[in-house]
Every structure is written in structure tokens, then in C-alpha cells.
Structure 1
Amino acid sequence: MSVRIAERMNRMEPSGIRKVNEKALAMERAGEKVIHFEIGRPDFDTPDYIKQAACKALAEGRVHYTSNFGLMELRCAISDKLRRENNIIYQPTEILVTVGLSEAVFAVLATLLNAGDEILVPDPVWINYINVPNFLGAKAVSYHLIEENGFQIDLEEIRAKLTDKTRAIVIVTPNNPTGGVLTENMLRELAGIAIEHNLMVISDEVYERLIYDGEKHISIASLPGMKERTFTMNGMSKAYAMDGWRLGYVAAPEEYITVMNKFHQHNTTCAPNFVQMAAITALRDEADEVQRMVREYQDRRDYAAKSINEISGLSCRSPKGSFYIFINCKKLGIKSAVLADYLLEKAKIALVPGDVFGPGGEGYLRMSFANSYENIVEGCKRLKEAIDAL
């Protein structure tokens, strides 16, 4: 029989990151030694106290459904965290526990956007923020994050792109893929625009704990007049090295949470019970595990950024947050996808071409320094040799 696929699926692009990863894995299966700088996941193991909590929960029979909204104890722990660390007062009933941040993105956008609506999205950005609006029949309108501007937002560009169809603005801080961190002044001015034009803000803060050089993460929902118009999204993946556990959350006014839960009910039902129990422990019993990981990330970042800036034809800013370096390769005059493929074939290092994150990423490569210090040293050596050979 003929294969018939819904037209909407043509509006969703496959992950360019996973395309690189699949090729790298195939090379490894063929016996090649590839250094992975493409996947945005911590290379650390999940802290032992969190794993022990999951094992304890399993032993106690925590294997059944929870409330679709998530365990009340977890929602209370998230509420406490947001008050303590982000200066936002969200009640537990204003929190929805999701299966990773990816599901949270889909739930928020499906709740917020009608076909034909517009949403302002950074360029470059994690591609989900373009794919999901397209899938829903809405329009993702890009605003540019420019290296020369420190990857901050051009507020005049935001104003110029607002129309009567604009429903919301997406911000990702710290940013994937640039590593930029939005300043407090920038967020205050952006908040003013959102209030003036009655816009919602979707704030992706999953990298908030991975921050360097004395920078400070500010949650836009903590600013005056913004809690009622912000979806604050976060999860356990990056800070706690729990990416495979798939645990995220959204905090927003209860009216939105109630509607999002309808999507969540029919999409995944609930996050796994024992994973939720482990997340409670992570949020309440953390000692210095995250700080130790961040110190190691900073050492890796410092070495990688210095090494890249010493390679003729390449340059980079030292990122203020996340675990990504956005490598500027424009001087080489080679398309980023071609260069990434060359580096994978020639040097056996897997990097993501910048155009995967939108047109503004062309001329860049994303490097994840969530890898061992030894692999970063070897990877930078291979990178220099391969670039010098061009």
C-alpha cells in the first residue's frame, strides 16, 4: 500500500544535531575514535544521592501513575526552588511537571498559539522553537542574536517585528547555542515591551545553573508585572546531569497550567513516579554537586576558548553560560555544514554546523565542552591540525 503522511509533518525539520550524532556513532561502530562535541548533555554521571533516591522509590513500589500535574510534593519542591533561587512566588498549583523540557515546549506552544499567530524566536536557537510553531500552523518570526552585540537582543528589532498577530516572545538564557546570558537591564527593557504590547514571554532557563565569570541569572518572571505573562520553563537535565531521566517543568498562571495539562494528559500522562521522587531529593538535598560540575565546566571552557582563538581562521567568545562555545569560522569562507562534515571525516571530531540553529548560525560551529578535559585537549589539537591543513 502507498505511504500517506500528514502534510503537517513536512513543516517539521529533523534534528541537525542528531544527524551529526548518528554519523559519528556509525563511524565509531566502524572502529573510528570520534570525540563528541555535538550532543548537549552533561558527561558527568547523575549524583549518587539522586540515583539512590530513585532506587529507594522503586524498592518502595513507586511504579504507578501519579497525578497528571505531577506529585504534589515535587511541585512544592519546585515552588520552593523558584522562590529561593529565582525570586518568583509560584504556588504548587501553578506548576506542571513534564517529561523533559521538550514536552514542556510543545505543551506551552500548543496552548498559546493558534494557526496564523506569530511568535518572536531568537536566531540562532534550539530548533524546537521553530519546528513546533510551524507544526501548529503558526509562524516563528526570527530576531537576531549578533556576536558583535554580545549575543544580546536588539530591542529596536523586536519592536520593528511586532504585528497585530504577535502572541509571544521566546527567550533562552543562558542561550543554546551561543552561550550568551541576557543582562538584567536587557530583560527589564524587554519586560517593558511585553507589558506595553500585551505579549506573553516564554523563558527557557534550563541552563541557569551553568553560569560563569560572576554572571547572574535573572528570571524575567521575577520582574514587576511579568509573572502573570511568563511561562518559566526548566528541568533537571543540565544542572543535575539527569538528561536521560526526562524530567522538566513549566511554571505559569494556573489558568494556563490547567489547559496545558490537557495536552500533557493525552501526550504522556505523567512523568515516571520514581523519577519524580528522585527530583524531589535533587532539589531538596543538593550539597555542592552542581557547583563542582560548574567549576569543571569552567576549566574546560577556558582551555577550549583559548585554544580556538589561537587557530588561524577561527575565533570565539568565551561563553558566560551553558556548556557551548559558538565558534566563528566565517574567515575560512566555507559553509558551516561542509566544514563540520570535513572535521568529522578528517579529524574525527563531531561539531554541529551553526545553520542547524537558524540562518543566523551560518558561519559558526557549536562545540559542547561537556566532555572530559583530556578529550577537549585532544579535540582542540585535532581541530587545529585539520584547519591548518585546509
Structure 2
Amino acid sequence: MGFFEYLMSKRISQIKMSPMRKIAALLDEAKRKKDIISFGGGAPSLIPPKEILDNLYNHVRNNPYEISRYGSTQGSVELREKISEDVFKYSKVKYEKDEIIITEGSTEGIFLSLSIFLEEGDEVILTDPTYLGYSEVIKFYNAKAIYITQDPDTGYQPNLEELKEKITKRTKLIIINSPENPTGRIIKEDIAKAIVEIAKDKKIFVVVDEAYKHIVYEGKNTYISKYGKDVVISVCSFSKEASIPGFRLGYVCANKEIVSVIEKVKQFITLCSNMPAQLILLNYLASEAKDRYLNEYVIPTYKKRRDFMAKMLKQYLPEAKFKIPEGAFYIFADFSPYIKNKNVEELADDILNKVNVVVIPGSYFGKSGSNYFRLTFVSENENRIEEGLKRLAKYFNLI
């Protein structure tokens, strides 16, 4: 097949496999051979709510025909109505059912939201650091990612002056992730309002990745859409809040015009979203079990693990610097005193090979992360968190 590379699209040839997918594949193989402690991926470690599991069982047993059918591209009307109620409950922003489209997780939501805007040479403003999944989608459309800084001393809030300076005639979108992967930062209300005002003034859109909007440990989440629903595209997911990443179910909230164009693209990519998952989530949201699951199980469990990891980092790796995350699943830690200008990606591989601990290089999330590791605190219990950090300390010859 020597002619394959010659015929392959140039657009595809420049896209890289996500390092997170490589790590997931490596872990699947490595776990069969030796004891791995993972501070790597961002998958929830808790079982889904009982209501979801019961609904799944009941639908498989009692509604095999209904759950096996095609659905509409925009998604179940009943589920979109229930999502509308759910979004309003938390954000006080009202979306009609025609302003919501169901997607295969937030990953498809991001891809579709960018796909309807980007052409060759267009620009998208990203923060540094930020979630690693955006830049490759931007490359896919031969567009360009333009980065603005987020200073740890400001709690990783986006630099507004830099944002204003870097918007050009080619800028179409600003992408904000809040609560943020990898830093756990929740964007401040005044910053959110200012970003929306800038977007309105420059006639561009703000894409808000809200995959972690319900994973908040202190205070409340900031809902950017309340400052300007007309220029905000909210991309959401059930993966984190309901511990069901394998269900691949999310949604996008935006004005009707945007949703109708997203629907037009989606019909040729996934046709419709997971119908069993849509039916199960409809029943789950209708049951009002969500608050109980989050407030009595998810948040207390993950907050305890977050606090324990922070304590153990200070004990075993005392020179590592980090901010306590306000939300999401991660501690983004500056390991400069231990890394000493070594290649952080090579170090992560060496750590896995020598002490069987998975850490994610901060460089995956932007240039500012070249001396950082992202450590997830949700994947392991307290005993294994301590053991993993002891192994890291041993690797750096601290114990």
C-alpha cells in the first residue's frame, strides 16, 4: 500500500493521535503485566447512580425495540426539554428545546461547534494551559490556535488585555474551559462577563467547554452564557457528572440558527446519538436523583481525594508548587525543582517504566506546562494515592 500516504489528505496527515488515547491504550496493556498506579486519565472512578443502572436494566429487559431504533439527529424531544429544565435550574439561563442538540459526548460537541465556523487561515483564541483536545481540531480545518496566558498567581484567570490584543480579523472563536482541565480553575464572574463583552464587540463567539460544570468543590460554577447567550455556545457532557463516559452522551446549547447548522453537519457524522443512553438519561433527570448523587457521593468522595493528594504532595514532594483546584479532577503541579529542565514527556515515560506510575506531562496542555505534571486524584483511593506519590518521591531520590 505504498500509494496510501501519497493519496491521504494533507489535512489528515497533520493531525496527531491524542497522547491521552495513547496512554489509555498503554494502560490497557500495562495493567495486565504489573501494578500500575494511574494519575493519568480523566475518567470517573465511581459507579453510576443506581437510577441509571436500574433504568438500563429495565430498558434492556422491557423495551428492546425502543432502545434499538434510530433517533432524530437533534436528539429526543423529551430529553431536550428535560435538559432545558436542568440547565435553567443551575444557571438560570433559559434554552428552548430547539436551542439544544444531543451529541456523542462533549468531544463531538466541540468538533461540531468548531466545524461550522472554521476555514483555512481562521484563528481561534485558546488559553495556555488548556485542554489538549482543541488544538488538533483547529488544525484539522487548517485554522490556527492563538494562545493567551493564564498566570498561576491570578488563579489561572485568562489575561484580558492579551485577549484584546490577539483578536484579529481572522479570529472567529474564543474557547474557555471552566472548570478547567488541567488547572481546576473556575473562571471568575467579572472575567466571564468581560470575555462576553469583548466577543460581542468583536462579533465573534465564545465556545464554553462545561464538561466539569457540576464538579465543583468550593463556591459555585460560573455560567458564562448568562452574560450573553446570543454569543455563547455551551458544550456539556454527562460523562463526569453521572460517571458514564462510556455512554458517550452530551449536548450543545446555543441559538437556534447555530443548532440547526450543527444538526446539518452531525447527520453525516453520527446520524443520531446513543438512543439507549438518551432514554436512560431522560428517566434519570426526571427522577431528580442528580443532586443527591452529586452532593452525597461524587463531590464528597472526590474532594476528600483532592485534599488527600494535596497533603501527600506536600509531604513527599514538598518543592512541587500547585494551586488547590476549585473543580474538575486534577492537580496541575509545577515540578521544576525536580525536573531541572529535563524533557517532561520523556520523564513521564521513564516514571511509568521505572516506578509504574502514570503522570501526564504538562506540556500536553501548552508551553507553560513544560515543567508541570497533571495528576488526577479521582482514579485511585487514598492508599493508592499515597503509594503513587511515594513512588514519585523515590523516583526523584527523595526517599
TM-score w.r.t. length of structure 1: 0.95
1:288 counterpart SS class: helix
Q: How far apart in 1 are the matches of 2:115 and 2:242? A: 28
- Provide, for residues 275-322 of structure 1, a one-character-per-residue CA deviation record: whole Å limited to 9, x for no partner: 101111232322511122111100000010121133144222111110
Equivalent in the alignment of 1:217 = 221
Show the 5 A alignment for 1:101-112: 101-112=106-117
Show the 5 A alignment for 1:235-384: 235-285=237-287, 286=289, 287-291=291-295, 292-310=297-315, 311-332=317-338, 333=340, 334-371=342-379, 372-384=381-393
Equivalent in the alignment of 2:150 = 145
1:107 counterpart SS class: helix
Contact 2:40–2:376, Cα closer than 8 Å, also in 1: yes
Q: How far apart in 2 are the matches of 1:265 and 1:337? A: 38
Q: Could you tell me how far 1:143 is from its partner in structure 2?
A: 1.4
Contact 1:179–1:324, Cα closer than 8 Å, also in 2: yes
Pair 1:85 & 2:94 matched: no
Contact 2:177–2:208, Cα closer than 8 Å, also in 1: yes
Show the 5 A alignment for 1:33-182: 33-58=35-60, 59-60=62-63, 61=65, 62-182=67-187
2:220 counterpart SS class: coil
- Provide, for residues 339-375 of structure 1, a one-character-per-residue CA deviation record: whole Å limited to 9, x for no partner: 2122212221101101112222211111111122222
Show the 5 A alignment for 1:12-31: 12-29=15-32, 31=33
Q: How far apart in 2 are the matches of 1:200 and 1:321? A: 24
Contact 1:122–1:171, Cα closer than 8 Å, also in 2: yes
1:24 counterpart SS class: helix
Equivalent in the alignment of 1:189 = 194
Contact 2:196–2:231, Cα closer than 8 Å, also in 1: no
Q: Percent identity?
A: 30
Q: How far apart in 2 are the matches of 1:21 and 1:301? A: 22
Contact 1:329–1:336, Cα closer than 8 Å, also in 2: no
Q: Could you tell me how far 1:389 is from its partner in structure 2?
A: 5.0
Contact 1:228–1:253, Cα closer than 8 Å, also in 2: yes
Q: Could you tell me how far 1:154 is from its partner in structure 2?
A: 0.6
Contact 2:359–2:375, Cα closer than 8 Å, also in 1: yes
Q: How far apart in 1 are the matches of 2:91 and 2:382? A: 31
Contact 2:344–2:371, Cα closer than 8 Å, also in 1: yes
- Provide, for residues 32-58 of structure 1, a one-character-per-residue CA deviation record: whole Å limited to 9, x for no partner: 100111111100111121122122223
Contact 1:323–1:368, Cα closer than 8 Å, also in 2: yes
Q: Could you tell me how far 1:150 is from its partner in structure 2?
A: 1.0
Corresponding pairs, count: 386
Unaligned runs of 5+ residues in structure 2 are none
1:266 counterpart SS class: coil
Q: How far apart in 1 are the matches of 2:226 and 2:113? A: 19
Unaligned runs of 5+ residues in structure 1 are none
Q: Could you tell me how far 1:268 is from its partner in structure 2?
A: 0.5
Task: Indicate the RMSD between aligned Cα atoms, in angstroms.
Answer: 1.5
Q: Could you tell me how far 1:168 is from its partner in structure 2?
A: 1.3
Q: How far apart in 1 are the matches of 2:272 and 2:327? A: 31
- Provide, for residues 241-293 of structure 1, a one-character-per-residue CA deviation record: whole Å limited to 9, x for no partner: 01010001001011111110111111001112111011112323225111221
Q: Give the partner amino acid of 1:168.
A: L
- Provide, for residues 80-127 of structure 1, a one-character-per-residue CA deviation record: whole Å limited to 9, x for no partner: 011111111100001000011111111100012222211101222222
